[in-house]
Structure 1
Amino acid sequence: MDRFRAYRLSVTGEEVGHIKRNSQLSVEVAATQHTLRATIDWCGSNILYVDLSAGGEVHVEVSNPNGPFKGQRVMRRAPGAYLQLRLLEKAEALETP
């Protein structure tokens, strides 16, 4: 369902960009604590809390772990769990295409 569409990424409640399947997005933010969330239509992901007070960077991955059939049910019953947002380890992030 999401194969040809883009997810919206929000940092501390502000939309900062769109990211498509198998792609990367780089966003510069202030050195402080932030919340991250991905959305598509009325559905979304879990909220990640990251502390960048000391600077640095984080790498995250957004995915739809539900598949097409289960995804329909999740969209209706738990739209906030439709997407999954997770922190990646630095080595994992370097391997992504």
Structure 2
Amino acid sequence: MGETTAQALITVHRPAAVWRDRARAYWIEVDGVRVVRIGADEQLDLPVPPGVHDVRAAIDWTGSPVVRVEVAPGGRARLTVRPAGSSLQFWQAFTRRGYLERTAD
């Protein structure tokens, strides 16, 4: 019989928003590829091969900085994504990586 490779998970949580982006979905990118959209007050489990992965959240032309996570076989990395700053900081929409905040839990 063939050997099976254990998967790993990246869990992404997006808390409910007061109003900024509440009706909009964010793209979650893993290793430079857009893999799934996440709405407000959602949590998603993304199966990935064990190892090191670069994760980023994006909306339109902007998003979060890339975070590098390492996930062991059968393990899980937990991330949270939300709007950065406040809705009064409109200038963030004009930056490539300052509009969204992504944190490792």
Q: TM-score, normalised by structure 2?
A: 0.75
Percent identity (aligned): 31
Q: Which amino acid aligns with 2:33?
A: E
What does residue 51 of structure 1 align with? 70
Unaligned runs of 5+ in 1: 89-97
> Where do 1:14-53 residues align within 5 Å?
14-52=33-71
Alpha-carbon distance between aligned partners in 2 of 1:75 and 1:16, rounded to the nearest angstrom:
22
What does residue 17 of structure 2 align with? none
Greater length-normalized contact order (CA 8 Å, ≥ 6 residues apart): 2
Q: Point out the structure with max Rg over C-alpha.
A: 2
What does residue 22 of structure 2 align with? 3
Higher helix share: 1
What does residue 31 of structure 2 align with? 12
Q: 2:103 aligns with which of 77, 80, 86?
A: 86
- The DSSP-based 3-state class of the residue aligned with 2:48 is coil
- The DSSP-based 3-state class of the residue aligned with 1:28 is strand
Q: 1:33-79 deviations in whole A, cap 9, x for unaligned?
A: 10000000001101110112x32011100010222221x21112x23
Higher strand share: 2
Alpha-carbon distance between aligned partners in 2 of 1:32 and 1:14, rounded to the nearest angstrom:
16
What does residue 93 of structure 2 align with? 75
Q: What's the RMSD between the two structures over aligned residues? A: 1.1
Alpha-carbon distance between aligned partners in 2 of 1:82 and 1:47, rounded to the nearest angstrom:
13
